[in-house]
Amino acid sequence: MEKLRKKLHKIDNRGYKAYKDLEGTYKVENFFLHIDHIQADPFANPSRIRVEIPNHITKFEKDWYKLKSRKIAFEDFFARELAKIIKSYSINKNGSGKSGLILIDKPGQEILPRTAVKITDQKIEFRLSIGLPARGRKILGNQALKLLCDHIPYIIKKAIFTFDKNALLKHLKLTDQQEAIRKYLDEYGYICFIGNNSILPRKSGISNKPLKNNQVIPFKSPSSLEIEIPIPHSQPIRGMAIPKGITLIVGGGYHGKSTLLKAIERGVYNHISGDGREYVITNPTAFKVRAEDGRRIEKVNISPFINRLPFDKDTTRFSTEDASGSTSQAANIIEALEAGSKVLLIDEDTSATNFMIRDGRMQALVGKEKEPITPFIDKVKQLYKDLRVSTILVIGGSGDYFDVADNIIMMHEYKPKDVTKKAKEISKSFKNIRIAEGGEKFGEITKRIIKQQSFNAYRGRKEKVDAKGLTTIVYGTNNIDLSFLEQLVDPSQTRAIANMIKYLSKKLVDDTTILPILIDKLYEHIEEKGLEVISPYYKKHPGDLALPRKLEFSAAINRLRTLQVK
């Protein structure tokens, strides 16, 4: 601390650049303050610091973070805790630009592995961003001293010494339960579980928080699909389980179909208590596929769905700079399969109609030889039979799917009803002139090799890979548009993807390895070294990162405008 005081005294009132001298490690009270990066001026991105506290001071119990799932929840808890304390704590921000600012990467509704807090057997470390105080561009040394030696220690001490232990235990226990449900689903052949009394609708189209008013209908499973799962720390939990295979969600418009599917989509992540979806658990490889016209496609074998395009364009290695609705949806499915998805989630609201259905009358008018598209309805069974890939499909507009579905759930006034039997009777008694066009087999999933030269992030003389919010990554002279990846939920995931692309392209791509193997390697590496290994500032403050799924990462690669497949 003396060292820091002296330095600050020396640079007080000097130009902002002199703050650079502060970089280094200091002992403040009984922890370590690492000043890793100093902002260029008061208006630039804030400075990065880490606060490290040895475990003999905090007295955290090993049991709170020993299990991997608990470790993620534990770190998540303290990131939230710190964010809460910072918010309620007012600091003198009389200064220019970001003077006096303190930030931590605050988690949203999901509990994700992130770099904001790190616990090991030796220590806990908090990764913060701060605005070093200035008046105009002159250093305010005394205020900086206060910030670093009073405010930061106060906030940290408040978090580690006065946190609500019951709240932590509740958080950890919920994680245990979520893990237990995941395991159960996996063991017993289910792809998704929605606990009774879950609150599925959200506050608004742009909010991820639960809708709260007296008109919200809590979820209640139909008895035929209800199961009971034993979970730790409480009575068994009951709710609706969707088995592997093909499931339709039908029902009138505005009766809650898409809301149910959205909750299922997000169930690949664990949610915090009070979210309403904390007991909605979905197979972790479930992937929402939708139409995405305008996207680029690079040599994807979409022939299971699309064949005989005009001018004999090859669909076993299909490329385009500007995909149509149906070709984009076909490519999205094939790429998801390539990346290892075992559950496809599809909503008619975001699908290309001609990709989803082609009824008997249209077949009679436009013969198969004139239609390049084999609709999804004719492939969905083979998908399960050949590849063991299940589908959950929202469809209110076509009864043709009754023939191919295993389970049919009707949403009526936000309540699910099992209508499988009735729908099957209808499909028997109404004669359908429709002919199946999908053939016997689904077809091959070609695994592609990515060429090294796909990755060129140069923009002029400088490399540029930068996340902009949740849905855009600036990559060299192009942007990667992620706005149709509906299961990408946190801007810190987007930042991680940007870093991961850089990391992958520098260290792993070799012109002989197929994409899913490259991605596996990257994730094994992350598993071993921690998420921060992808940061250019590894071993310092790594930036605010959260782990994306392999599926979203792979999807980002597929949306690179410069991607080249061998």
Binding span for ligand ADP by CB under 6 A among 257-265, 362-370, 528-536, 557-565: 257-265
Shortest reach from residue 209's CB to ligand ADP, in Å? 12
85 and 117 in contact (C-beta within 8 Å)?
Answer: no
254 binds, among Mg ion, ligand ADP, none (CB under 5 to 8 A by kind): ligand ADP
119: which residues sit within 8 A by CB, 6+ positions away? 60, 65, 71, 74, 75, 78, 125
Residues that bind Mg ion (CB under 5 A): 257-258, 349
Helix (H, G, I), strand (E, B) or coil at 131: coil
Residue 278 one-letter amino acid: E
Minimal CA–CA distance to 358: which of 439, 257, 253, 438?
438
As a 3-state breakdown, the chain gives helix, strand, coil percent values, each rounded to 5, of 35, 25, 40
DSSP state of 278: T
- What are the phi and psi torsion angles at 412 (to 5°)? -135, 120
Tokens (6 digits) for 378: 């004719």
103 exposed, middle or buried (CB, 10 Å; 0-12, 13-18, 19+)?
Answer: middle
Nearest to Mg ion of 34, 262 (CB atom): 262
As a whole number of angstroms, the distance between CA 97 and CA 112 comes to 31
Binding span for ligand ADP by CB under 6 A among 223-231, 252-260, 445-453, 537-545: 252-260
256 binds, among Mg ion, ligand ADP, none (CB under 5 to 8 A by kind): ligand ADP
Q: 22 vs 6, 37, 53, 222, CA distance in Å? A: 10, 9, 20, 63
Exactly one of 44, 217, 426, 517 binds ligand ADP (CB under 6 A); that residue is: 217
Shortest reach from residue 214's CB to ligand ADP, in Å? 10
Binding span for ligand ADP by CB under 6 A among 95-103, 189-197, 224-232, 249-257: 249-257
Minimal CA–CA distance to 435: which of 483, 364, 499?
364
Beta pairing, strands 286-288 & 343-347:
parallel
Number of neighbours of residue 230 by Cβ within 10 angstroms: 11
Shortest reach from residue 100's CB to Mg ion, in Å? 46
Shortest reach from residue 353's CB to Mg ion, in Å? 14
Binding of residue 130 to ligand ADP (CB under 6 A): no
Nearest to ligand ADP of 254, 537 (CB atom): 254
User: Which residue, judged by CB position, is nearest to Mg ion in the bound state?
Assistant: 258
Binding span for ligand ADP by CB under 6 A among 47-55, 109-117, 246-254, 491-499: 246-254
- The number of residues that bind ligand ADP (CB under 6 A) is 16
Binding to ligand ADP, residues 137-176 (CB under 6 A): none
Q: Which residues pair with 192 in a beta bridge?
A: 242, 282
Binding of residue 416 to ligand ADP (CB under 6 A): no
215 binds, among ligand ADP, Mg ion, none (CB under 5 to 8 A by kind): ligand ADP
Nearest to ligand ADP of 97, 239 (CB atom): 239
Nearest to Mg ion of 349, 444 (CB atom): 349
Q: Which residue has the tokens 């299940």?
A: 390
150: which residues sit within 8 A by CB, 6+ positions away? none
Exactly one of 236, 253, 310, 460 binds ligand ADP (CB under 6 A); that residue is: 253
Exactly one of 89, 188, 254, 538 binds ligand ADP (CB under 6 A); that residue is: 254
281 and 267 in contact (C-beta within 8 Å)?
Answer: yes
Tokens (6 digits) for 523: 């994730």
Binding of residue 100 to ligand ADP (CB under 6 A): no
Helix (H, G, I), strand (E, B) or coil at 392: strand
CA atoms within 13 A on the CB side of 405: 28
217 binds, among ligand ADP, Mg ion, none (CB under 5 to 8 A by kind): ligand ADP
Contact mark string toward ligand ADP, 193..212, x via CB under 6 A: -------xx---------x-
Binding of residue 351 to ligand ADP (CB under 6 A): no
Shortest reach from residue 205's CB to ligand ADP, in Å? 8
As a whole number of angstroms, the distance between CA 98 and CA 407 comes to 55
550 binds, among Mg ion, ligand ADP, none (CB under 5 to 8 A by kind): none
Binding of residue 257 to ligand ADP (CB under 6 A): yes
User: Which residues here bind ligand ADP, judged by CB under 6 A?
Assistant: 200-201, 211, 215-217, 251, 253-259, 411, 414
